Amino acid sequence: MATGTLTIDLDAICANWRAMDRATAASVQTAAVVKADAYGLGAARVARALAQAGARRFFVAATEEGAALRQILGPGPEISVLSGHMAGDTDMIGDLDLVPMLNSLDQITRHLETLPGRPFGIQLDTGMNRLGMEPDDWAAVAGIVLEARPQLLMSHLACSDMPDADLNLQQLDTFRALTDGLGIARSLSATGGILLGPDYHFDLTRPGIGLYGGDPFAQAQKVVTLSLPIIQTRMVEAGEYVGYAMGWQATAPTHVATLAAGYADGLPRALSGKATVWAGDIPCPVLGRVSMDMIAADISHLAEVPDALDILGPQQGVDDLAAIAGTIGYEILTSLGARYARRYVSGTSA
């Protein structure tokens, strides 16, 4: 094959969800965030596996994602939409039994007028200044909204991957001030918030990146392996160059492999001259620039030419690769290209 193979370990995703679930009290529900097509890994397979593992509530970013997920999961599991109730979403929300997390006065009005009596949640801004109702706006409408009985009051931590950040405690205090004593289920924490401890857990948690093997869940099982086929090899003599703009020059005869993947497949151009691919546990440096469809690697030290080299796997996870590129694991995962052959592994089946 002239495209890479992305192997996704569904058992590892489910094990990570169970670990997140065990990190909270039995009274705390553990949801699963499967937005962006399950962080690029394929919601059709990932969400089904998580439902079989015990997840009964799922979060997506947009109503369209919720509609697709309902077709995947069927009736039963609750699907919450973080962007709320946007104009034009009413039919999908109503017909497919989605639960919007309302973020503004306009969304509250839209939902209560067009879908009266249908479930909803409220998202509050506690200091991230990204999405959710401001405290003053919430104070103005809380009485009306609470009469309609929202299913959930939620907010989102801005610095949960920075345990010592003062903003974590500030947001916790604000969330409590806005929601204490209301008798409505509450949710503040995604993966990082779960790891901050019980004070942040409330009634429901929403792990996302931790399910997929990413930081800050350091104990997460690795989920993905990305193997890139070698499509050609050559000897490059001393003084010759490899790749665009003479990106790398050989100082000695070098056995170079050309691999089938590039920035069109989600490998950032920032990896140029910095990344490593792996033959088992043997590192092979990437040479020169990452181009649209190809990268080159030094395989001079390998006893045999393998069929493929791994850029993600046991030796190099998504956060390791992201650090090399100066980004985060989220971006690596969600950018993995459509050309890869996706292979799902669960138990002994693939």
- Rounded distance, CA 183 to CA 212, Å? 33
The reply to whether 241 belongs to the active site is no
The reply to whether 244 belongs to the active site is yes
Query: 40: alpha, beta or left, given left = phi > 0 and alpha = psi -120 to 50?
Result: left
Q: Residues 35, 263, 330, 344: which is the catalytic one? A: 35
Outline where DSSP puts E strands in 10-130: 29-30, 32-33, 57-60, 78-81, 98-102, 121-123
Residues 31/55, Cβ–Cβ less than 8 Å:
yes
Question: To which residue do tokens 């034009």 refer?
Answer: 88
Closest CA to 270 of 220, 222, 327: 327
**Diameter over CA atoms, the chain:** 77
Would you state the pLDDT for residue 2?
A: 74
Which DSSP state fits 222?
P
Would you state the pLDDT for residue 349?
A: 41
Give me the sign of the Cα torsion angle 129, 130, 136, 139.
Answer: negative
Residues 120/150, Cβ–Cβ less than 8 Å:
yes
- Classified as helix, coil or strand, 46 is helix
End-to-end CA separation in angstroms for the chain: 18
- Rounded distance, CA 87 to CA 45, Å? 30
- Rounded distance, CA 26 to CA 196, Å? 17
Q: Residues 241, 244, 263, 344: which is the catalytic one? A: 244
Query: 76: alpha, beta or left, given left = phi > 0 and alpha = psi -120 to 50?
Result: left
- Rounded distance, CA 3 to CA 338, Å? 10
Q: Which helix (H) or strand (E) holds 343?
A: strand 341-345
Would you state the pLDDT for residue 221?
A: 95
Would you state the pLDDT for residue 1?
A: 54
Taking only the tens of pLDDT, the chain with its 350 residues reads 579 999 999 999 999 999 999 999 999 999 999 999 999 999 999 999 999 999 999 999 999 999 999 999 999 999 999 999 999 999 999 999 999 999 999 999 999 999 999 999 999 999 999 999 999 999 999 999 999 999 999 999 999 999 999 999 999 999 999 999 999 999 999 999 999 999 999 999 999 999 999 999 999 999 999 999 999 999 999 999 999 999 999 999 999 999 999 999 999 999 999 999 999 999 999 999 999 999 999 999 999 999 999 999 999 999 999 999 999 999 999 999 999 999 999 974 43
Closest CA to 302 of 230, 248, 196: 230
